[in-house]
Amino acid sequence: GMAMPLATQIMMAMGEFLQAWWWVLLGGMVAVWLGIRMYVKTERGQKVWDSLKLRLPLVGMILKKIEIARFSRTLGTLLGSGVSILMSMRIVRGVVINTVLGAKLDVVYQDLKQGRMLSRSIEKTGVFPALSVHMVGVGEETGRLEIMLNKVADIYDKELRATIKTLTSMLEPIIILAMGLVIGAMIVSMLLAIFSVNDINV
């Protein structure tokens, strides 16, 4: 008889494959997930994972802003409470979660121990945006470092809220579109199969 349309053949083949080998796919996904989790728990794995997250187009930008806001807020609060900058940096280092960024802050701490300015040190890391570096520099020059650090945190907290709001508003239509495409593909393959059967009967 006449061959069924390619789209229908593909859909049927996928269905048969999943029905016969679902347990292999499920087991494979679980094994991969467990393997990744075990690797990430190692020191090297954690560094690789943290580095990868920072390089992701949108996620990396969000994570950097979260860490910069957290760093600035904590450091500004500690300095405002009369804690020395070296002691404050040691405390802040424990607040930063990402190991890659944490390693850069270790370098900043060593620079501060040698008497270098905070603005120059954070600029050297290549992580802090020019605006935050400039604001920290102004704070150092005017003797209002803790105030400027809190302003930096305010700026990035505001940007984060705006970004998350935008992403949330975009998420719903994207999900609806994806579901529509999947359902549409299934309907088209079913219609092609029906038309194919009708052609055979004719």
pLDDT given for residue 2 in this prediction: 54
37 and 68 in a common domain: no
Decide: residue 159, CB within 10 A, 0-12 exposed, 13-18 middle, 19+ buried.
middle
50 and 102 in a common domain: no
63 and 154 in a common domain: yes
45 and 135 in a common domain: no
pLDDT given for residue 192 in this prediction: 67
Residue 105: half-sphere exposure toward Cβ, Cα within 13 Å: 23
Residue 191 belongs to some domain of the structure = no
Closest alpha carbon to 150 in 87, 73, 61? 73
Q: How many CB atoms lie within 10 A of CB 99?
A: 15
pLDDT given for residue 117 in this prediction: 95
Encoding tokens for residue 7? 């789209």
Residue with tokens 């900043």: 108
Residue 156 belongs to some domain of the structure = yes
> What is the Cα–Cα distance from 56 to 51, expressed in whole angstroms?
9
pLDDT given for residue 154 in this prediction: 96
> What is the Cα–Cα distance from 170 to 125, expressed in whole angstroms?
33
Which domain covers residue 29, as residue numbers? 20-55
- The mean of the pLDDT values for the chain is 87
pLDDT given for residue 8 in this prediction: 67
Asked if residue 199 lies in contact with residue 2, where contact means CB atoms within 8 angstroms, the answer is yes
Residue 24 belongs to some domain of the structure = yes
149 and 95 in a common domain: yes
Residue 133 belongs to some domain of the structure = yes
pLDDT given for residue 196 in this prediction: 61
| DSSP secondary structure letters along 47-78 | HHHHHHHHHSHHHHHHHHHHHHHHHHHHHHHH
Asked if residue 126 lies in contact with residue 108, where contact means CB atoms within 8 angstroms, the answer is no
Residue 113: half-sphere exposure toward Cβ, Cα within 13 Å: 9
pLDDT given for residue 4 in this prediction: 63
pLDDT tens figures, 96-138? 888 999 999 999 999 999 999 999 999 999 999 999 999 999 9
Weakly modelled stretches of the chain, pLDDT under 50: none
Residue 4 belongs to some domain of the structure = no
Q: Is the dihedral of CA 44, 45, 46, 47 positive or negative?
A: positive
